[in-house]
Structure 1
Amino acid sequence: MTYERIVVLGGGTAGWMAATALATGLKGTTVELVESEDIGTVGVGEATFPSIRNYHQILGIPEADFLRATNGTYKLGIRFRDWRVKGEDYYHTFGDFGMLNGPESLWGQYRRHPRANLPTFGEQCLPTVMAMNDRFCAPGKDAANFNYAYHFDANLYARFLRDIALKRGVRRTEGKVVDVARRPDGGIASLKLDDDRVVKGDLFIDCSGFASLLLGRTLGEPFVDFSHWLPVDRAWAVPSAPVGDTLTPYTRATALDAGWAWRIPLQDRTGNGHVFSTRFIDKEKARDQLLQQLDGEALAEPRLLRFTTGHRAKFWSHNVVGIGLATGFLEPLESTSIYLVQVGVGRLMTLLQRGGPVALELVDTYNTGLTRQFERIRDFILMHYCLTARRDTPFWQAMAAAELPETLAYKLHAWRETGVLHQYDEEGFDGHSWLAIHAGMQNWPARSDPTLKLIPEEQSLDWVRERASQLATAVATVPTHREYLAKILGR
């Protein structure tokens, strides 16, 4: 059967991202979104991945309009504080370190001079130097290769997308689902609301958050648990008042006793949170540690979120496609929650735009691809923990001693033994991102590529010094993040 009527269950970021894409890309299809104002959304996903810019471009959303509507700011990457050892930090920005292999690999030549009193390796990357100086500009046609993302208020973002979706023909239905009718083949036939209305559909998009009302609760899709690798299971979240004139163009992640704290700067406030493991710290102590991290006055009482890291065994089952938290969750260390929503929506759109029913083998491919995306991102996040030199609390001792997934163990072995940044299919992060974490954690290969010596030593040293100097000079002329944002917003 064809999908003439698509029902999206749940609003929030995932629901309205899906509905807006469906309404934009599937002309002639009826799209109905069911949500209840009485059911709150998580709404803490305020940091994003650069792919969101592609989503906005496809949907024709102007950057300035989006930033204005969501109190948004720019994000060059993440500053990791106290992760390797206390008192030390490094950056993972969306930048380019040049060649990653061979004699012209920048990192390889940099490592030839361990006692040359060079700047940090991060200072060989343009967006990192901008982040370190609280400056920002978008890449120009002739600029070095780098990317950027955003920080924004997730609740305002959902409202912003809702307005766009409604203008493009999405029908919004207010109501709580009290019953789900099944089809003879096991799929979903309709949703019954609390006022006895019935919403029928050919395809259902489950964006009901952690409740996973259709994919998990109704269809009983099993959950693949990652908590033995990523044991954090709670997060406190609280906004605080901004302090001072500096507007940092990056997310800050500070390692604490049994987890880490985020800091996300918006135009009108700062988003803060503490992701932690209840196996290693009491929730009230974790709350106190978060409040101690705030730069300004707390603007509300901290809110506690509960979660388990992992994903549903299938993302598409029968005529139900899960998007967002309904499918699973990976802790927000690298801001991938909205990225995974976008990946799911994008792949779904590709299949639906072919026309007609989606063949079972393509559904299997969809499920395999999303499963691998979760696994690859899991490995990237876990790398931040397993490379630490911290052993000062039971949490960090346990993370350092934990058994790794074979996919990650092989990657780390390949890097340490050969200097190869091995990549699988369905990677969320490229070699430059992996290199940024390795460098920040001082995790360098045990052996050097002998072809590095094809470049004379003094020439090599001059190269890395000159690059750092040129980047520092270039960034000195870049406007501050606040100045650039004001210009874009016309203020």
Structure 2
Amino acid sequence: MSQKFDRIVVVGGGSAGWMTAAVLATGLKGRATVELVEAEDVGIIGVGEATLPGIRNFNQSLGIDEAEFLRATNGSFKLGIRFCDWLEVGQDYFHTFGPLGNLSGSQALWGQHRRVKQDGPLGLQCVPTVMAMKGRFKRPDERSQFNYAYHFDATQYVAFLRRLAMQRGARHTVGHIVDVPRRADGGVAALQLADGRRIEGDLFIDCSGFRSLLLGGALAEPFVDFSHWLPVDAAWACPCERSGEEILPYTVATALEGGWAWRIPLQNRTGHGHVFSSRFIDVERARDQLMARLDGKALAEPRLLRFTTGHRRRFWVHNVVAIGLSSGFLEPLESTSIYLIQDGIGRLMAALLAGRPLSDSDRATFNIGSTRRYERTRDFVIQHYCLTRRRDSELWRHVSTMELPETLAFKLELWRRFGVLHAYDEECADANSWLAIHAGMEHWPDREDPVLAEISRERAQQALQGRRAAIAASVEHMPAHHVLLKQVLS
């Protein structure tokens, strides 16, 4: 069945909804009408977002000025994530958005680092990691090989995108959906609102959050559960006052007894949260652990969010496409929520701009690609858990011994036996990111590649020391993150 879509209706007004509406209104101007429908009394999940570098491309594609965006969202720059207590209590490492040198052959930086037993972590050979350690920040130039993302207030980002989308022609309808009439072929015909209005459309984008009003509700699309591998199922979130002038250019993720805690620094406050598994820790105990970690006065009562990790079996069914939480959820350990929204929007736009009516084959291609993206992202998140040496609580004993997805088990085996950073299609993280976690968790291949010995230990040592010193010297001249941020905002 082929189809053309002239009337597009977006259901839900959170980050996913307004990101989708902004892109559709910009990219389909004159080709289709875009209408976003949301209930006035439904709040958004957003509690402060940490993102991946792809958010920069997303904003740029909409013509958003970086300084304007940062001012509107109380945003800050993000070089990566500092992982505390994941390998063992008292040990930490960084995953930042930059290269860790050559990754293969006799010049493999990580291989020579391990071979010569270079002092300090591998991250000292990575520019953004050293920047993060020192609290410095500088935008990359044409010679730089690192990237960066943002921290921002999700509620303010939604307001920013709402204004932009409506300026570009998107319609905004507020009303409570009481019924979803269906078409003869099984698709959605319209949204029936409580006040009697009927919103008809050709294509419906379900951005209704965990409720999944259209895909999970009206169309009853089954859910694929990942909780066997990712047992966290709840989170407490609470913002607090920012203390001091410094704003760290990275997210902090600290492993705790029954899960992990986040810390996200914004201009005006600091976001805190505790993601945990109710199988392994009492809900109120998890709340107490979060509140004890606040580094300033709480600005609100902590909110409890409950979820199941996984995704809908299909993402595009009939004339309904799910984007964001309505399509699935993976815990925010690697800041992948916004990334998965962007990915879904990008796939949808590629299909809509193909220049022909869409077919069942197009839907199948969308669904296969989206499923793989969730599975690859799932594997990357599980890697952080399964390599732990911690055995001090039930959660850590569970994740260290659980059976892994075959795709992840194969990748880990290739690394452990041969030092190969294997990549599938639809990966959310590149080889440098996988290596950062391997190195941080001290998970190295069982054998040393003999080709590394083609470079003498002395020469390898000198090269590593020289690179480390050069990086340290360059970072020393960079401004503190909060200083640079103030300059950008002025």
Shorter-chain TM-score above 0.5: yes
> Is residue 221–residue 314 contact of structure 1 (8 Å, CA) maintained in 2?
yes
Q: Which amino acid aligns with 1:127?
A: P
- Provide the C-alpha distance between the structure 2 equivalents of 1:111 and 1:53, rounded to a whole number of angstroms: 34
Corresponding position of 1:77: 80
- Provide the C-alpha distance between the structure 2 equivalents of 1:416 and 1:292, rounded to a whole number of angstroms: 39
Deviation at 1:97, TM superposition (A): 1.0
> Is residue 45–residue 337 contact of structure 1 (8 Å, CA) maintained in 2?
no
Deviation at 1:36, TM superposition (A): 1.7
Superimposed CA distance per residue, residues 30-50 of structure 1 (whole angstroms, 9 cap, x where no aligned partner): 000001220111012510011
> Is residue 45–residue 338 contact of structure 1 (8 Å, CA) maintained in 2?
no
- Provide the C-alpha distance between the structure 1 equivalents of 2:143 and 2:129, rounded to a whole number of angstroms: 18
RMSD of the TM alignment (CA)? 0.7
After superposition, where does 1:20-39 map in structure 2 within 5 Å? 20-28=22-30, 29-39=32-42
Pair 1:2-2:4 in alignment = yes
Moved more, 304-313 or 30-39: 30-39
SS at match of 1:344: helix
Q: Please list every run of at least 4 consecutive aligned residues from structure 1 whose deviation after the TM superposition is greater than 2 angstroms.
A: none
Q: Which amino acid aligns with 1:75?
A: K
Corresponding position of 2:139: 138
Pair 1:243-2:246 in alignment = no
Corresponding position of 2:128: 127
Deviation at 1:213, TM superposition (A): 0.3
Corresponding position of 2:18: 16
After superposition, where does 1:425-436 map in structure 2 within 5 Å? 425-436=425-436
Pair 1:88-2:91 in alignment = yes
Superimposed CA distance per residue, residues 201-238 of structure 1 (whole angstroms, 9 cap, x where no aligned partner): 00000000000000000000000000011000000000
Deviation at 1:456, TM superposition (A): 1.5
> Is residue 257–residue 393 contact of structure 1 (8 Å, CA) maintained in 2?
yes
Deviation at 1:359, TM superposition (A): 1.6
Structure 2 gap segments, 5+ residues each = none
Corresponding position of 1:183: 183
> Is residue 238–residue 272 contact of structure 1 (8 Å, CA) maintained in 2?
yes
- Provide the C-alpha distance between the structure 1 equivalents of 2:48 and 2:126, rounded to a whole number of angstroms: 26
Structure 1 gap segments, 5+ residues each = none
> Is residue 3–residue 356 contact of structure 1 (8 Å, CA) maintained in 2?
no
SS at match of 2:180: strand
- Provide the C-alpha distance between the structure 1 equivalents of 2:164 and 2:340, rounded to a whole number of angstroms: 21
SS at match of 2:235: strand
- Provide the C-alpha distance between the structure 2 equivalents of 1:131 and 1:45, rounded to a whole number of angstroms: 20
Corresponding position of 2:386: 386
Moved more, 322-331 or 28-37: 28-37
SS at match of 1:380: helix
Corresponding position of 2:61: 58
SS at match of 2:189: strand
After superposition, where does 1:35-46 map in structure 2 within 5 Å? 35-46=38-49
After superposition, where does 1:50-449 map in structure 2 within 5 Å? 50-114=53-117, 116=118, 118-143=119-144, 145-449=145-449
- Provide the C-alpha distance between the structure 2 equivalents of 1:362 and 1:182, rounded to a whole number of angstroms: 22
Q: Which amino acid aligns with 2:16?
A: A
Superimposed CA distance per residue, residues 19-66 of structure 1 (whole angstroms, 9 cap, x where no aligned partner): 000000012210000012201110125100110111111110010110
Q: Which amino acid aligns with 1:90?
A: Y
> Is residue 386–residue 400 contact of structure 2 (8 Å, CA) maintained in 1?
yes
Normalising by the residue count of structure 1, what TM-score does the alignment of the two structures yield? 0.98
Superimposed CA distance per residue, residues 323-378 of structure 1 (whole angstroms, 9 cap, x where no aligned partner): 00000000000000000000000110011012342121111111000100100010
> Is residue 212–residue 326 contact of structure 2 (8 Å, CA) maintained in 1?
yes
Q: Which amino acid aligns with 1:92?
A: H
- Provide the C-alpha distance between the structure 2 equivalents of 1:135 and 1:341, rounded to a whole number of angstroms: 30
Deviation at 1:119, TM superposition (A): 2.3
SS at match of 1:172: strand
- Provide the C-alpha distance between the structure 1 equivalents of 2:167 and 2:366, rounded to a whole number of angstroms: 30
Q: Which amino acid aligns with 1:34?
A: V
SS at match of 2:77: strand
Number of matched residues? Answer: 487
